[in-house]
Amino acid sequence: MLGRNYQEVPAEPVSDGITIRWVVGQPEGAPNFAMRVIEFEPGVVFTRHQHPYEHEIFVLEGKGVAEGPEGEVPMRPGSALYIAPDELHGYRNTGDGVLRFICVIPHQEE
Amino acid sequence: MLGRNYQEVPAEPVSDGITIRWVVGQPEGAPNFAMRVIEFEPGVVFTRHQHPYEHEIFVLEGKGVAEGPEGEVPMRPGSALYIAPDELHGYRNTGDGVLRFICVIPHQEE
């Protein structure tokens, strides 16, 4: 059993104003999927993109929107989102503080 | 893309003082794993048990411990835990309020 505060995991830069922490994943022995904590600084946008794997998301802090094919879905603390494989999606921090969310993905082949 | 507050999902009883909400899973089309939000009332214990699938956990609120083969791991807001397949584990709410955490598991065969 492993336990640690997510802040003990180094925050890796994704792009300007976006970081990711891989809090549980293959290095910890997880066989199937990885849990990451992602942070967006205020005003930051991650433009729409797609990939062949799903996201299961839970918002911890802040205010934002996820943009999908059918419009926007609000992101608030307590929001649970599902983004299907190959679905177009982007994110935007619309609040004054950090937008922080958990995003779980299946392991990808190297 | 699906988005909703976890509180919109019905809380199903697990045992006395423990509920579970399946916030993303097979009914939403998720192909690989399910995200649940689990709540323990103060003082509630879930005794040690094991099963052949892993847990990836993130604590949202409260104070507790997870009991593993090598002792206790603290559960506090921001704690990320990994429990391996077949590892013995239990939980205990040691605080005055609810212990709420996310627990992700792979889909099980029916």
> Tell me, what's the pLDDT at B110?
57
Q: Which residues of B touch A68 (CB under 8 A)?
A: 1
* Confidence at residue A109, expressed as pLDDT on a 0 to 100 scale: 74
The CA distances from residue B12 to A40, B17, B21, B38, B49, in Å, are 33, 11, 6, 9, 20
Whether pLDDT at B90 is above 90:
yes
- Report the chain A residue with the minimal C-alpha distance to residue B21: A80
A32: contact with B, CB 8 A cutoff? yes
Per-residue pLDDT at B95 exceeds 80: yes
B104 vs B32: CA distance, rounded Å: 10
pLDDT digits (tens, 9 = 90+) for A76-100: 999 999 999 999 999 999 999 999 9
Predicted pLDDT of residue A110: 56
Q: Residue B1 and residue A73: Cβ atoms within 8 Å?
A: yes
Close Cβ partners of B8 (under 8 Å, ≥ 6 residues apart): none
Pairwise CA distance, residues B63 & B60, whole Å: 10
Q: pTM above the 0.90 mark?
A: yes
- The predicted complex's ipTM stands at 0.97
Find residue B80's DSSP bridge partners.
Answer: A4, B58
